[in-house]
Amino acid sequence: MPPRRAERRRPASGRTVLLTGAAGGVGTFLRQGLPGLGWQPRCFDLAPPDPPDELPWLLGDIGDRGCLAEAMRGADAVIHLAGIPHEADFPRLLHTNIDGTYQVFEAAREAGVPRVLYASSNHAVGRHPAGTRLPDGARPRPDSLYGVSKAFGEALGSYYADRFGMRVACVRIGSCFAHPTQLRHLATWLSPGDAVRLFAALLAAPGLRFATVNGISANTRAWWDLDGARALGYAPQDDAEGWARELLARFGGELAPDDPDAAFVGGRTAVGG
């Protein structure tokens, strides 16, 4: 079934980047910020945003090969954000996060799209201890079936880079919100502005072949290194520390060392919370 087209207005000029899951939280930040950096987002999701914006939209499911084929046509790059963003039963994750991610990579390959940026998650490495600096490319230690689905996407990206010569970056996104709302976010926050800067850098990086990078801002309390992302051009400008006093007052001080939110990269998800 061909994708349904939302009302299309005049697009911005620039190179075309397909955003799957464009109506979601991270997708919203990117479609608002990338046009100012020379990229023309082509937005793909199950439904358009409310309120609508001025960008071109295609409506469909990432499991539908026909929808993806049209969405990919003429794109210079893909940012794959679509998926279930939390723990769920395995059949749902299998359909959307695992098979859906395969469909996106395969559609990009068939369309000759040379670069795919995959939105992975801190939950792909969520069982690592939070007290040590986690390097880019640390081995997967999923804290949930959701984390397993994200680790699969990273492995798939590595395969498509090696087998087909695609340029692939997997971004282990921390906590990407307008501002930090939990004490854990003082370490894991990725600001909207830095999300745009990170993905824009990866879209343009000439030396990218395959990389797994950590997706956070320049947080004073960061648990993760940003060496790999910086080497590819990322220059974060924000720091969650500006919210530290407010959050510490709200939650009654620092987290106890044995609190899962302080003990594990994935926080409470690592213990099933």
Active site residues: 146
Kindly tell me the sign of the dihedral angle through the C-alpha atoms of 26, 32, 36, 41: positive
Residue 94 has what DSSP assignment? I
SS (HEC) of 99-120 = HHHHHHHHHHHHHCCCEEEEEE
Secondary structure (DSSP) of 13-76: SSEEEEEETTTSHHHHHHHHHGGGGTEEEEEEESS--SS--SS-EEE--TT-HHHHHHHHTT-S
Nearest to 243 by CA among 186, 191, 174: 186
Torsion of CA 160, 18, 217, 147, to 10 degrees: -50
